[in-house]
Chains A and B, each alone.
Chain A
Amino acid sequence: MIARRTAVPADRGQLAVLNQFLREFWAAAALAPPGMQPFALALEEIFMNIVMHGSEPGRTPCVEVFLDGDAAESVTMTVEDDGPQFDPLSLPPPDISVGLDQRPVGGLGVFLVRQMMDTVSYQRVGARNQLRMIKSLAS
């Protein structure tokens, strides 16, 4: 169907750029707008994780995003960065059963990504972290 790629520095100001990239892919692939939300969320969560936790001092990693829509109405989004090795899927899930006072304010992003995507997999490929997310758009 259609594939797109972009690369940005892991800088928080680039979030809007990536969001625009996703919107353009969605329009070019003529996909239904409601299906974009989980990908927008996953892109923000994974990118911001790299921005905030994926840098060595003095060096800003490069983040590459690949979007791929296939004929079976599923979209694959791959996010790669050349920062230090880190598997976000190794994070323990947050305890979402506790009340307002005890509820930790962080740790939700990756949990939400796993809930919303059909498949999420991590690989260290050479000197890069690669996170691949797949979701079917068929309802």
Chain B
Amino acid sequence: MNLRIEALPEATYVIPEGRLDFDAAPGFQQSVERIFSAAGKAPAVVIIDGTGLEYVSSAGLRAVLLAARAAQRAGSAFALCALQPAVREVFDLSGFSRIIAVHADRAAALAQAQQGRP
């Protein structure tokens, strides 16, 4: 799996590409935790952009769950967007799409996240 992080003024985007499986999950988790533990203020909005994410297993779901909790602790809004159908199916079957916001694209995720902020 490749992982890119784009820190833009309005949001930090996490862009995993390829397979988020048992092998890739620990690296993903560390990279995401670094976003919240870096010096200075945590980003107001963190969005996982799933455009290039082809596969997720329970290990990947676990890493996303821990990322969502880290965001909550840091007071950052957290959402997923642009999930491919096969990945979306795993989020739906596991019930994760009921506890973590999933949006069609970056714009929708950003609009919702900004609306939810005080």
Q: What sequence of 0s and 1s flags, for each residue 32-68 of chain B, a beta carbon within 8 Å of any chain A beta carbon?
A: 0000000000000000000000010111011001101
> Which residues of B are found within 8 Å of A111, using beta-carbon distances?
94
Q: Are A106 and B21 in contact (CB under 8 A)?
A: no
CB of B22 within 8 A of CB of A96, answer: no
Determine whether A100 belongs to the interface, using a CB cutoff of 8 Å to chain B.
Answer: yes
Q: Is the CB of B65 within 8 A of A40?
A: no
Q: Is the CB of B62 within 8 A of A108?
A: yes
A112 at the interface (CB under 8 A from B): yes
Name A's interface SS: helix
Whether A103 is near chain B, meaning CB under 8 Å from some CB there, is yes
Tell yes or no: B10 within 8 A of A by CB.
Answer: no
CB-contacts of A28-82 with B (<8 A): 34, 37, 40-41, 44-45, 48
Known: A100-B72, A112-B90, A116-B93. A15 touches B23 (CB 8 A): yes
A90 interface residue per 8 A CB criterion: no
Give 4 closest A-B pairs by Cβ, nearest first: A96-B95, A109-B58, A108-B58, A37-B86
Residues of B whose CB lies within 8 Å of any CB of A are 21-23, 55, 57-59, 61-62, 65-66, 68-69, 72, 86, 89-90, 93-95, 98-100
